Amino acid sequence: MFETHEPGAPRHSQGRGIVVGVDGSDQSMCALVWAAHEAKRRRSPLHVVTAYTVPVFAASSMDAGYATVDDTVIREGAQSVLDQSIGRLASRHDIEIVPRVESGDAAGVLLELSEEAELMVVGSRGRGGFVGRLLGSVSSALPAHAKCPTVVVPLFCAPRLNEAGVSAPRTKGEPCPKAEDVEKVVVVGVDGSEQARMASLLAAEQAESRGLPLRVVCSLPPFTGSLAWMPTPVDRDALHSEIMVQLNAGKAWLQSHFPRLEISIELLDGPPVEILIEASRTAELVVLGTRGRGGFAGMLLGSTSQGVLHHAKGPVLVVPDREDPRLADRARFGPMAA
């Protein structure tokens, strides 16, 4: 019934499909349910993956080298986690499910599978094993280096899934939004970089495929003492007007490629991390690039990446760098960030 892979065997996601990592935690179950909904929407197969590693123990004698333990029990435990996770989905989702048990480091397993997948999905943290490892000790390994887009699903958004068996987190004075509280909109954070433009294209595709409007958001952070060295005061109104010209040009460019899509733009005052976290609270989906100028896309997977990914209140889609012929005609529509 289940597809498993022997250590050393090549790993492939068997063509296009969605890959989700599970470790038996509530966080990974939330990610699994979100991935199941997305697989059904896309009519794509869902590859449900768990990984295990075999401990290596140093022998007492230098001549003995290293000894490994029999992985049978560990593998059976991983298989049990996989079976239980898929079993909790029961028959509520009419999708093709491909279960997989892999041997190896969790981050490495998913990164390799991302070469063939159309989308990767993980929870924001887990038991310290599969999903927890990704946003724990190896930080943002998957969103930063995956070959395909990655969605990070926080447990905070569990109530909006309307799924039995998915437990919402306990929060202090901060209610988790339910399905009826979700605003039907896709939000993309931009900062004028090439990576942000790539994220905008994918965000527009996501919005169009869902039949939702797209909101393009840019942040103008507050000035701090770091600008005290500047010889002349910064004209914030002039800067605001200049950025709006660029945002309107970017909107016209996006609209040329998605003529039927409803697109709006917003320039907000405030720290980018806080603005994105707040947007994720009720937005259907928040989309970001892997890096950029230090604003929205630039901060992601940089110095403040953990603040975004660990504290987002809803699904966040991270778009990797890739070539797209539609980027070539952006300059024809007006000013771009220098």
**pLDDT tens profile 139-179:** 356 887 889 999 999 888 988 987 766 766 766 667 888 88
What rounded mean pLDDT belongs to the chain?
A: 80
> Which secondary structure element, helix H or strand E, spans residue 319, and what is its range?
strand 316-319
Lowest mean pLDDT among 39-43, 93-97, 169-173, 279-283: 169-173
CA–CA separation, 258 and 277 (whole Å): 27
Which residue ranges form the domains of the chain, and what is each CATH number? 1-55+69-169 (3.40.50.12370), 182-338 (3.40.50.620)
Residue 100, classed as helix, strand or coil, is strand
Q: Please tell me the predicted confidence (pLDDT) of residue 265.
A: 97
Q: Please tell me the predicted confidence (pLDDT) of residue 137.
A: 38
Residue 55 binned pLDDT confidence (cut-offs 50, 70, 90): low
pLDDT at 205 over 90: yes
Residue 42, classed as helix, strand or coil, is helix
- Which has the closest alpha carbon to 220: 193, 190, 200? 190
pLDDT 10s digits, 77-93: 888 888 888 887 766 77
CA–CA separation, 334 and 249 (whole Å): 5
Give me the mean pLDDT over the 110-134 stretch: 74
Q: CB within 8 A of 111, min separation 6: which ones?
A: 141, 142, 145, 146, 147
Q: Please tell me the predicted confidence (pLDDT) of residue 65.
A: 53
Residue 70 binned pLDDT confidence (cut-offs 50, 70, 90): low
Q: Which pTM value belongs to this model?
A: 0.85
- Which of the given ranges, 52-56, 232-236, 265-269, 287-291, has the highest pLDDT on average? 265-269
Q: Please tell me the predicted confidence (pLDDT) of residue 255.
A: 97
